[in-house]
Structure 1
Amino acid sequence: MNYEQVTEGIRVSVRPSFSLPYSVPKDGKFVFTYSIQMENQSEETAKLLFRHWHIHDSEGDDSEVDGEGVVGEQPTLAPGKSHSYESFCVLQSPVGFMEGYYTFIRPTGEEFCVPVPRFDLQAPWTVGGPAESDAIN
């Protein structure tokens, strides 16, 4: 499933997926990857400065992650340009979600926040996919 939101002319699209090869469900290790694309649909250049994530695990273990840029980069998006990256998170349960925001800056020095839409992290057997035992074996 894709999640998408446009704020201040920046379109953020997210596609999460469960990564069975890196997960060990019997040990409470559930790895989720997510692909993100940011597209500047405005008429002004914007540079990504910071990210903030809220990660919720259905086991009740919430965490916050803050940092500069994304995966070591602070891309500058000219009008009509986009930037994509992939990352991951590890949960202790097969169900959770992530949400957050990016802080961008315009050439004028104006900073603004672009929310990342909340996106679900769900192992396939939690949403009508194969049973857990089938997915693991």
Structure 2
Amino acid sequence: MASCSPLLLLVLCTLTVAEAQLKVFNMRASKLDSNILGTPDAYVEVFCGSVSLGETSVRRNNRNPWWEEDFTYFNTQENDTMRLEIHDQDIGFDDLLGVCQRQIKLGTHEHECFLEEGGSLHYTYTLS
């Protein structure tokens, strides 16, 4: 009698969910509001699900900052949730200016997100 192990292995391999690569880039903000102490010192924290992909550098005294950093995550699946948090760096405690959150889809997508504290964040992502 022939073993069914190779056939079973083939079936199990086809049932696994394909993982893809997420790349987040081209982040820039406009018309950011800050507290009464002046213009914001803004940075962005990037998450995929509960995993932190890192944060950008701080752009000091700038209401319209841009960031050169790219963030890549190799353990992503379509419909995972990506979250971008934009903060104003302060002494002691950083203020959260807003959160952009969405389910990611295959392909390259550009989005603009309006922030709770005023202003907007524009970003691009690719899921391939």
TM-score, normalization: structure 2?
0.48
Greater share of residues in strand: 1
